Chains A and B, each alone.
Chain A
Amino acid sequence: MALKPVTTPDTEAATIALNIDGETVTAKEGVSLYDVISSMGKIVPAMCYHYTFDPFGSCGMCLVLQEGKKSPVRSCTAKATEGMVIRTDGEDLFAARKKAVEKHLSVHPLDCPVCDADGHCELQDMAFEHQVINLANAKQKNIPEDTRSLVLDFNMNRCIACGECINICKDVQRIDALQFMKKGGFTQVVAKGDHALDCEFCGDCLAVCPVGAITNKFSKYVYKPWQLRKTTTTCNYCGDGCQMQVETKDTEVVRVTSPLSWKNKWGDRGDTINGHGGLCVRGRFGFQFIDSKERLKEPLIRKETGLVPVPWIEALDTTAERLKDIKSRYGSEAIAGLITARCTNEELYVFQRFMRTVLGTNNLDSSARYGHMNFVRAVHHALGINRMMNTSADITKAKAILVVGANVTETNPVASLRVKTAIGTYKASVIVVDSMQTNLAKLASHPVMVKPGTEGTFVKGLVKSVLEQDLIDSDLVAQAPEALVALKAAARELSLETVARETGVPVEMIQDAARVFAEAPRSVIVCGEGILRQHNGYDNTLSLIDLAWVTGKLNKPGCGINTFAEEGNEQGAVDMGVAPEFLPGPVSYGHATARQKFSEAWGSALPDAQTGKSLIEILEDCRAGKIKALYVVGENPLATLPKSFGVEEALSQLELLICQDPFLTETAQYAHAVFPACTFAEKDGTVTNQEGMVQFVRPALDPLGESALDWHIMVGLANGMGHSLPYETTQDIQAEIRKLLPGYYNLGQPRPVVADPTAYLRNGYADSVDARYAVNGHARESGRPYGLKLIQLIYHSGKLSTKASGLMDIAPNTGALRMSLEECERLGVAEGGRVRVTSDQGSLELEVQTDVNMLPGTCAFPEHFNEPPVKDLVRVVVDPVTRVPYFKTTQVTIEKM
């Protein structure tokens, strides 16, 4: 049908005028009449309509009278045409709509009391609004409830066959997991093929179901809408920053709902370019960690008998005394701090101020170091910006999208819908470069499967191909002709055949991809962990910038280079200067004016400009005994980094390890002081999403037990050390940030960034480019034929989601190595068979699980699980420039047991 959107970036629909209830309205030709009516502020009841997908027209409620037609027409499926005269109100229409409601009611079961949708049910609303009484011929369907799926129950007795669930799954999610099926005399919604539903479980079908036909297993029968308190907050799982409503009953989280719902159905399809308001499986069903029984409730201090619960005052006092002692004995340099990027901006800001002024050290880092920092450093260095360049609208409207090493449907499911919409609605060409068959690759026009770890080589191949095919954009290159000369010279040695051999991609495909990318009017690059978290991530990002630069995709509207942040507030951690190389802003730590501004504002001198250690250096120094005290906020390096890196030795060397976390993590087992922290659902503050939007986090619950907000603990520690941080409320911190970083909050809307590569291209570009394009940049470890990848699952995010029982139900740790069927057959192992996996670091016996998404020659294991310790097979490689640790891929041999 594709009634909407009629106006795309490429075509403009004609404007027409029509008459609705005596008013003349202008609209775009071809849009649904229902949209035109609702744009006037008139609400015509409709049960099967939702603005995010094409009108379906099954409920028969949205009837209007068109002049010249005898019977009422369904306004949703009717297109607006010039000169229409429409009446939307009247006794006759009311009666006709009432008839439609009665039709649905007559086969609806009498189970409002037990239905979860009761009180939030469109059928109830419609029946009440149309004053239906004394129905004739009511009958029951008696269809058994389908409880096979792990997450959703389907009670088809209640279904009104509006098709909203099917449509949103098909049109918005492009997963198409549901279908109508005639069964037992009734049209029912079933999972494709009438199996147990097995999909991404984004739950959008649940959100748009206007009745109680689809219900959520995790909160089934435990609530009624009027018992719940809704708190609108921002999801903490990934950098998309989806808005969500945490619904709580007393002290427990009952469910999470999205702004997307059947209730919120009047919108413009054009609006969805910024997002449809839905959530992913993690946001919607992964809330159980918030009120988990495992949460820490009291501060613990290590005594002879181990970690002992103590009152807050004692815990803070002891810790502060010991910090003071270490500072006086070994100097500030012997203290370091790590913080997770899931904290709010305010907490990150207080953390770096606490570290830099109270403890006087620049040894601080956040979990953005695991990969995001590569991107930030690269664009900071080359383009003078600090985050991704495009908005989600740009991505949706792009004509060509290059997705490199980013399994965005798994890491950032909601942002990936922008790419999906670009493919489906705006017909964009998408080049997906990955070493496994990602969901996006299945939808993409140009799926490019490379060998594991060669995404960077492929990017260089693209640059080479652009140069060979002369797809160079003359305007941009003209600004720095000498840089182009340098690039051409650097890439001379590189031949496409070499690239093809290394990556396993035919030359034609590289040429083709380069052409598609360069020739599109609006091209967007999205890079992910396949680039940023693997060998030479920094260099490869610079190569991507080269590609964008030579093809002129850097500062044209709608073009740019982007990454999707993996943890909730990675961008905020960078912006708040939680890295040794940055001050809040971020500005370079060595920047003299900025240093002066901050030291004046904080009333304290900053640590020397040359000092400061990053994550890896901190841990190495701990191991070497140079760092004596480590303050870890929400981080868990022991569980994150492979064993060979020696985190365990490093932690046991410490004189004082302070852990501040909602859970007693592996790292916290080694701690001398453990402070119970809050989860995002108890916090008040802001987070910055990958697009730079600053969004609110609002407390849905009171802090559990005695757990406290992270910044409260930091202020408490500072007080214990005799310094006072002048904060009493989150607003105090925000006021300070507002003063020091004017415009940072900017009403939630990010300032547009302008990439300016001139300085980079003119100064020193020629010196660095040679090394990047050197042939054989990626040396393969010989003798080990299989590439082992530590992958991310859609159902999980970091280690946090493993505390959410809902997500663990959906995706438990199978403990099995994922391999393609083909490869399993070659090895002669069946599903569940055992193999021995050997890398340079060690050997492990594992079960095998077939995975259709894996390519031959690769195997994978989810990075979220440490049992069995597959991560220990990988060696940590540290980026020479950005000090980012790479430990997501390695080469292994696999033998059948």
Chain B
Amino acid sequence: MDTQNQTKRLLDAILFREIWKAMKVTFKHMFHRPMTFQYPREKRTIPDAHRGALGLLRYDNGQERCVGCDLCEAACPSRCIKVISEEDKSLPLQRYASEFYIDITKCVFCGYCVEACPVNALAMTKMYEYSTHDKRTLLFDKKRLYEIGEQHLEDAKKYLYAHNQEQDDEESRAYRYHFPQPIGKIEASDS
């Protein structure tokens, strides 16, 4: 080892050079804009693809999209969805979800239910502030889910577009006419 190098090392050690070098970086950051933001006052911009709370959607004419096919329940990896379906007596061949529950405490926000839904009745929204003191209120029922869907309709649509579930409003309207099909019903004539 040559003397020059050795001297440099000795000097570095005596003068705490590596500390000064590190301090330089730290001092530079004093003039940097803060990276943090003050949460309740400032909020993150949430991307469109964000997987937040789930909401149920309606068609433009107010008809519920959900037909109660229960595929979301089958697809859910954490078994947090429960669908109770029934026949809509007023219309032939109409099945609908009379009750729909999502236990949001169990939900893992994977988005599989949205992917599974054959009518795009479910969508995830940008809603994330629903903490509560009562855990029971976190069992979202059909009413609550439709409310979320209505309040965050734009977000929900953006979610569907972002995740290639739908392309635009036009397509969603077109799908409606493919499903469910309107067919007649032969009823007993005498009774």
Contact = CB atoms under 8 A, between A and B. Distances in A.
* Complex: A in contact with B (CB within 8 Å): yes
Contacts of A220: 87
B68 interface: yes
Contacts of A175: none
A204 interface: no
Nearest to A113: B69
A145 B95 CA distance: 14
B183 A113 contact: no
Interface string B6-46: 00000000000000000000000000000000000000000
A149 B178 CA distance: 28
B38 to A, nearest CB: 46
A133 interface: no
B57 to A, nearest CB: 15
Interface residues of A toward B: which range? 20 to 34
A335 B123 CA distance: 68
B185 to A, nearest CB: 5
Contacts of A140: 181
B184 interface: yes
Interface in A223-259: 223-224, 226-227
A296 to B, nearest CB: 26
A118 B118 CA distance: 13
A146 B186 contact: yes
A114 B183 contact: no
A465 B71 CA distance: 68
Nearest to B187: A147
B155 interface: no
Contacts of A196: 188
Contacts of B186: 144-148
A489 interface: no
Interface residues of B toward A: which range? 20 to 34
Q: Which of A112, A114, A148 has the most CB of B within 10 A?
A: A114
Contact of B67 (A114, A144, A147): A114
B188 A118 contact: no
B188 A113 contact: no
Nearest to A226: B74
A119 B187 CA distance: 28
Contact of B70 (A111, A144, A148, A227): A227
Nearest to A142: B183
Interface in B137-191: 178-181, 183-189
Nearest to B71: A113
A148 B188 contact: yes
B93 interface: yes
Contacts of A112: 69, 118
A221 B187 CA distance: 18
A114 B86 contact: no
Nearest to B117: A113
Given A155-B93, A221-B85, A224-B74, A113 B67 contact: yes
B119 interface: yes
Nearest to A141: B183
A113 B84 CA distance: 14
A202 to B, nearest CB: 20
Interface in B100-117: none
A149 B191 CA distance: 11
A811 interface: no
B47 interface: no
A521 interface: no
B181 A109 contact: yes
Contact of A143 (B95, B180, B183): B183
Interface in A69-115: 109-114
B95 A113 contact: yes
A576 to B, nearest CB: 42
Interface of B: 67-71, 73-74, 84-87, 92-95, 118-119, 178-181, 183-189
